[in-house]
Amino acid sequence: MELGVIGLGRMGQIVANRSLEAGHDVIAFDLSAEATAEAAEAGAEPADSVADLCDRLGAEKRIWLMVPAGDAVDATLADVEPHLDGDDVVVDGGNSHFEESVRRAEETDAAYLDCGTSGGPASAEAGFSLMVGGPKWAYEAMVPVFDAVATGPEGHDRMGESGAGHYVKMVHNGVEYALMQAYGEGFELLTDGRYDLEMESVARTWNNGAVIRSWLLELCEEAFREEGSDLGDVADHVAGGSTGTWTVREALEQEVPVPIIYQALAERFDSRNEGRFSRRLANRLRYGFGRHEVARRDDA
């Protein structure tokens, strides 16, 4: 398949690379010439602009957007829109709010797929988990690319109509916050508790057969291995929070109690207070799965 990829940052490069590795042709564009050149080095055909990318794709365009959520998606769509018709498919693989995705789907002539993407840059080798919403025919048309970008055929599915993909990813992120908080609290108790423990050893032991083993726990193990049992100079500031806020807002609207997700979000907001071990671990874990910058104590 011929795929246009717009947005070639941490995630977009992986979308392009995995598609290329699976034998697809990729035409790539980013506002940053450096990012476009990096994709070209990996085998993509570089485009000078969104218009150029669309011209090169010809009929039945398949375009994957991997730009930051919010205004950048609307700005990109404004550039793409004049080149689209009903046979074309646009995938938004970013962390867009599901209601924005429903609006965009209604506004565009093309079939619009909202695709929640999980795994982060750390999953470049293994592939992502993809949660897709939108027209069935468009999902089916994109399956060869989804097979390539995801872990494989089991790593993606159509969640439902427009918005459902980003809705599922929003809730996924709420769960992610809660899990990070739970691990953080457990390790904080172990650190401040009765025994002199090695946290890497605890995490490794748990990861081998324990009920609570998981990828996030593997990232805890990695964090302790690389930063030390006390997390060294990792600060207790946790950045981000938009998707967790959306999850809690939606839970309030639906009158579904999500106290643990809310508490995890509140902890992030409260993380200006120095010294909490759980937050410093969460800060470091976001590097583990997302390659987000680790705020260090000296930066505070």
Ligand X SMILES: O=C(CO)[C@H](O)[C@H](O)COP(=O)(O)O
Chain residues binding ligand X by CB under 6 A are: 95, 118, 120, 173, 176, 240-244, 286, 290
- Nearest distance, CB of residue 194 and ligand NAI, angstroms: 36
**200 near ligand NAI (CB under 6 A):** no
Least Å distance, CB 64 to ligand X, is 16
Closer of 9 and 160 to ligand X (Cβ) = 9
Nearer to ligand NAI, 9 or 135 (CB): 9
Q: Which of 41, 99, 161, 176 is catalytic?
A: 176
Identify whether 136 is a catalytic site residue: no
Residue pair 61/4 in contact by the 8 Å Cβ criterion: yes
Contacts (CB under 6 A) with ligand NAI, residues 34-63 = 35
- Residue among 66, 89, 130, 285 that touches ligand NAI (CB under 6 A): 66
Question: 63 CB contacts (<8 Å, ≥6 apart)?
Answer: 3, 4, 5, 6, 53, 54, 57, 80, 88, 89, 90, 91, 110
Q: How many CB atoms lie within 10 A of CB 160?
A: 15
Q: Is 290 in the site for ligand NAI (CB under 6 A)?
A: yes
Rg (CA), the chain: 20
3-state secondary structure of 39: helix
Q: Strands, E, within 22-169: which ranges?
A: 25-29, 45-46, 62-65, 89-92, 111-118, 129-133, 156-160
- What is the C-alpha separation between 296 and 293, in angstroms, rounded? 9
Residue 153 binds ligand NAI, judged by CB under 6 A? no
Tell me: is residue 95 an annotated ligand-binding position.
Answer: yes
C-alpha 262/C-alpha 212 separation (Å) is 21
Please tell me whether 8 is known to bind a ligand: yes
Q: How many other C-beta atoms can be found within 10 angstroms of the C-beta atom of residue 85?
A: 10
Which residues are at the interface with ligand NAI (CB under 6 A)? 6-12, 30-32, 35, 66-69, 72, 75-76, 94-95, 117, 120-121, 290
Annotated binding site: 7-12, 67-69, 95, 118-120, 172-173, 177, 268
Residues forming the active site: 169, 176
Annotated binding site for substrate: 95, 118-120, 172-173, 177, 268
